[in-house]
Chain A
Amino acid sequence: MSEQQTVGFTVNGERHTVSVPTRELLVHTLRERLHLTGTHIGCDSSHCGACTVDLNGRSVKSCTVLTVQAQNAEVLTVEGLAGPDGLHPLQEGFREEHGLQCGFCTPGMLVRAYRFLQENPDPDEDQIRTGMAGNLCRCTGYQNIVKAIRYAAEKQTAGSV
């Protein structure tokens, strides 16, 4: 059916080598081989963003990336957001501002917001909404997600001064 290929890449700072069929999607490798089930599958068609991960410094929908495309890549998933000092400011922000309900979109939201705040560290509300347009949420109506991202932006800006 599908040839096997060995792929080496770094996920959340840890080096992994996996042998996968060439057609295997990155999201399945992360979830089923590396047991990183924080990354979710919501649509299989790049619309919902629940599977968003950071790949070589860009937000990608891992349901439409082949694992073989991640050869030698640096991948960040939600499991890699918190540091040794505790939660990432975005994780704090989502909790403080009630930016989540069922939690299914949350990992993708967080990982996308992580990249977005590096692209634009001090965004206004409209910029946040546009920057997050690739991630769907059915529970929150986004209003508190916007606040959560502002919370993190302010905290990160304050921290870097």
Chain B
Amino acid sequence: MGILEDQQARIDQLGGIGCGRKRKEDARFIQGKGNYVDDVKLPGMLHADFVRSPYGHARIKSIDTSKALALPGVRAVLTAKDLAPLKLHWMPTLAGDVQAVLADEKVGFQYQEVAFVVADDRYIAADAVDLVKVEYEELPSITDPFHSMDPDAPVIRPDLDGKDTGAHGKRKHYNHIFTWEVGDKAETDRVFETAPVTVKEQIWYPRNHGMPLETCGSVASFDKVNGELKVWVTSQAPHVVRTVVSLLSGLDESKVHVVAPDIGGGFGVKVGVYPGYVCSIVASIVLGKPVKWIEDRVEHLAATAFGRDYHMTGELAADADGRIQAARFYVLADHGAFDSCADPTKWPAGFFNICTGSYDIKAAHVTVDGVYTNKTPGGVSYRCSFRVTEGSYVIERMIDVLAQKMGLDKAEIRLRNFIKPEQFPYQSALGWEYDSGSYEAGLRKVMEVCDYAALRREQEEKRKRGELMGIGLSTFTEIVGAGPTKICDILGVGMFDSCEIRIHPTGSAIARFGTKDQGQSHRTTYAQILATEVGIPSESIMIEEGDTDTAPYGLGTYGSRSTPTAGAAAARAGRKIRAKAQKIAAHLLEVAEDDLEWDIDRFVVKGVPDQAKTMKEIAWAAYNRTPPGLEPGLEAVEYYDPPNMTYPSGAYLCVVDIDRHTGEVKVRRFYALDDCGTRINPMVIDGQIHGGLTEAFAVAMGQELPYDKAGNLLGASLLDYFVPTAVETPRYETDFTVTPSPHHPIGAKGVGESPHVGGVSAFSNAVIDAFAHAGVTHLNMPYKSSTVWKTIHTLNLDQRA
């Protein structure tokens, strides 16, 4: 059945799913009218700053605040001693551990928060920080996680003394946090013993940082008269912050008002609760004045949660044709001084068990050991759904290693191992049910467009001339959209998400969500989903998030969960609206409900197209002419608990040329084909992909947070930490296939994180592929020119003819 011209015009007018409408967010941002946390200014507001530890591991012998307090304009200097009577000197972490809000007798990482200075302005606060005298006794540090569980290792956490059980079971050493195991060990081991081919590689995913351009911060304002607390905070999950603040402070949750205003990028860094938030709240309650805390860039990189730091041992077993029979992975996870990993409660290693990737692997086993070191706590997912990037990286690396060992082409080995379309829903050996995928179709399209065979021929010729060229493939599968609530919660709150919509009498609407945009374009794309579902133009639908007083409860935006959860809630709330609208339309048209059919923006009497009521007409009637027994108004709320996660995938190809005399890696071509299911806004999707790929490029080529043996962080400023400019950043070509998720109301899967997850492997595989002919199977990231040059030089590949 074709679409009539009139219908197409009405579809275009809606600006619904599939159109590339311009963003609703932009008007404010391009005119300097954003409202970020540091833009919040309240009468009498004070400014705060931290005294931080210069040592990685030390006992605090004394803290003398007298000189700081004597400085005019200083209002308070808080230490653990001041917080202890309120029981706020320690706080629970999302991972079931506790973290010191202000160092309690000892520090466990460099830049740890020791004292909180509050002053009339930020300059005085900074002066006062220098006047706080802290006497330390330095202790030996552990910065190599492989030595955390040595028999004579220094004790990092005396507060856990004697506790041989943690939040995730037995602890086997005082610096051990958890062991997490999944899969069939006996069967996996058995396959490995008999398999014709096995490969093993030691792969480190370095410690890095999501580093949004806006640092973290909060403004807390306690109203003593009403006993109410308002907090503006850089949070990707403001409702969770409200619950945590209520639990910690003892204030009724109804008296805690948390607002996440505009957020200048999050990338997972802004999921957790940081000491600065807690201290600004306590200071405001104590002083009765608003208190602002905004961290600077060094503090952000040094003390706010890092990403990754997984030391992985990957093993694959295959038959003689390169078909993978089993996978075995061991991970030593460096969590720093506190386990502040931001994962769903029951998942200490996140969804790392997606590590069988896009391949049909019948037996697999994973063990992850988390350990303490004298480093910054964290382990948040840097634009990734809870350790998915680490899992995806290890399998995408290992399949290349296997191909190399067997002399197989790296595309061919993937084609031999892909899960086939008819196998979906697919039960993975590590416990997931993949919803849908078209892996082979994606890779074949990329190979054809990029003429993969010609690239390999070119590489062969270049190698003969001594030139270094690498071709990297990544055919990844992600897992995003947590819940379902039965397996995913944060501090006991199930990971659903929500949408509440109200249609006004004149036919425009407001919809509020439990998620929180940080650049993902929710105001634009949620309105598109609703437009298609309720037949009101997206231009007439206002979207709001972030104010916990007005928005329905939700678990926030991270792990590419907004479209799979809140996007689904939007569709279903829209359908509730439509169901009520149908009743009203039937009443107005004096026909039975079943006599009506939905037509883009109206209900039409079947077979009588001129007998119709538009949504605009129905909205008006909802406020004055509802049928008997039906309450007035046109509103709906949906709390959506997804039945499963969604599984976006992609096929990426990256071509690099490496200068064998300088080690400089140049990305010649990057082709990214993504399958995120139903595409809501192609313009926004492309933007997400460009951004995620650029982060992946940064990770592969330079991002790291290295420590020396004494626990000094070497690289916590933009002098050292690599953030690519427009000059280094490659150009990208994007493409797509569409394999809808069968369980999502509109078939959408989420896309924000795919380019990061899949991109890192593509860049890494390309660089390593350039050295494959020299027998190299793995090189750890990041591929800075200096380290790449060392590889070249060691392999004697820089000889001049």
Contacts and interface: CB of A to CB of B under 8 A. Distances in A.
Contacts of A142: 690, 694, 725-726, 729
B30 A141 contact: no
B32 interface: yes
Interface residues of B, number: 59
A109 B208 CA distance: 25
A137 B265 CA distance: 10
Given A79-B31, A107-B32, A102 B518 contact: yes
Contact of A138 (B123, B212, B732): B212
10 contacts: A28-B122, A35-B41, A40-B213, A41-B294, A102-B213, A104-B34, A136-B725, A139-B687, A141-B693, A144-B687
Nearest to A35: B41
Interface in A79-116: 79, 81-82, 87, 91, 94-96, 98, 100-107, 110
B214 A98 contact: no
A106 B29 contact: yes
A137 B725 CA distance: 8
Interface of B: 22-23, 25-36, 38-39, 41, 122-124, 127, 211-215, 262-265, 267, 294, 296-297, 518-521, 683-684, 686-688, 690-695, 717-719, 723, 725-727, 729, 731-732
Contact of B297 (A43, A137, A140): A43
A36 B264 CA distance: 17
Instruction: Give the most central of B684, B695, B731: most A CB within 10 Å.
Output: B731
Contact of A140 (B26, B28, B31, B691): B691
Contacts of A87: 30-31
B265 A138 contact: yes
Interface stretch (A3-11, A45-53, A64-72): A45-53
B690 A140 contact: yes
Contacts of A36: 32
Given A91-B30, A103-B519, A104-B36, A1 B123 contact: yes
A145 interface: yes
Contacts of A45: 297, 717-719
Contacts of B36: 37, 40, 104
Given A45-B719, A100-B29, A141-B694, A21 B123 contact: yes
A144 B29 contact: no
Contacts of B28: 103
A42 B214 CA distance: 6
Contacts of B520: 101
B213 A48 contact: yes
A98 B213 contact: no
A77 to B, nearest CB: 7
Contact of A94 (B30, B263, B723): B30
Interface string A120-161: 000000001110111111111111111000000000000000
Instruction: Give the most central of A24, A48, A105, A141: most B CB within 10 Å.
Output: A141
A14 interface: no
Contacts of B262: 102-103
A105 B723 CA distance: 13
A101 B729 contact: no
A124 to B, nearest CB: 13
Given A101-B519, A136-B725, A139-B265, 18 more contacts: A1-B124, A42-B214, A47-B297, A48-B297, A87-B30, A91-B31, A102-B518, A103-B264, A104-B212, A104-B264, A110-B30, A130-B726, A137-B213, A138-B695, A140-B690, A141-B692, A143-B729, A146-B726
A39 interface: yes
A48 to B, nearest CB: 6
B264 A102 contact: yes
A12 to B, nearest CB: 10
Nearest to A148: B30
A60 interface: no
Contacts of B723: 47-48, 136, 138
Nearest to A131: B726
A35 B32 CA distance: 11
Nearest to A90: B30
Nearest to B734: A143
A9 B36 CA distance: 26
A137 to B, nearest CB: 7
B25 A103 contact: yes
B108 to A, nearest CB: 26
A121 to B, nearest CB: 19
Question: Chain B interface secondary structure, helix, strand, loop or mixed?
Answer: loop
B213 A143 contact: no
Contacts of A98: 22-23, 683-684, 686-687
Contacts of A44: 296-297
Nearest to B34: A103
Contacts of B518: 102
A38 B30 CA distance: 9
A145 B296 contact: no
- Cβ-closest 10 pairs across A and B: A38-B32, A104-B264, A103-B29, A102-B519, A101-B519, A141-B690, A141-B694, A47-B718, A78-B32, A129-B726
Nearest to A102: B519
A27 to B, nearest CB: 11
B213 A138 contact: yes
A77 B30 CA distance: 11
A118 interface: no
A52 to B, nearest CB: 12
Contacts of B38: 31, 37, 40-41
Contacts of B35: 37
A91 B725 CA distance: 21
B480 to A, nearest CB: 18
Nearest to B297: A43
A47 B719 contact: yes
B264 A130 contact: no
A24 B691 contact: no
Nearest to B692: A141
A78 B717 contact: no
Given A50-B213, A143-B731, A95 B32 contact: no
B163 to A, nearest CB: 39
A110 to B, nearest CB: 7
A105 B691 CA distance: 13
A146 B123 CA distance: 37
A107 B265 CA distance: 15
Contacts of B717: 43, 45, 47
A95 B123 contact: no
A98 B683 CA distance: 7
B691 A139 contact: yes
A144 to B, nearest CB: 6
A47 B215 CA distance: 14
B211 A138 contact: yes
Contact of A104 (B26, B213, B683, B694): B213
A91 B28 CA distance: 10
A34 to B, nearest CB: 12
Nearest to B32: A38
Contacts of B726: 128-130, 132-133, 135, 137, 142, 145-146
Contacts of B263: 102
B697 to A, nearest CB: 8
A74 B296 CA distance: 28
B689 to A, nearest CB: 8
Contacts of B212: 102, 104, 138
Given A47-B719, A145-B726, A96 B265 contact: no
A74 B718 CA distance: 29
Given A102-B263, A102-B265, A141 B729 contact: yes
Contacts of A31: 38-39
A81 B691 CA distance: 26
B294 to A, nearest CB: 8
Given A1-B127, A77-B32, A133-B727, A96 B22 contact: yes
B73 to A, nearest CB: 9
Contacts of B519: 101-103, 139
Contacts of A81: 31
A106 B688 CA distance: 16
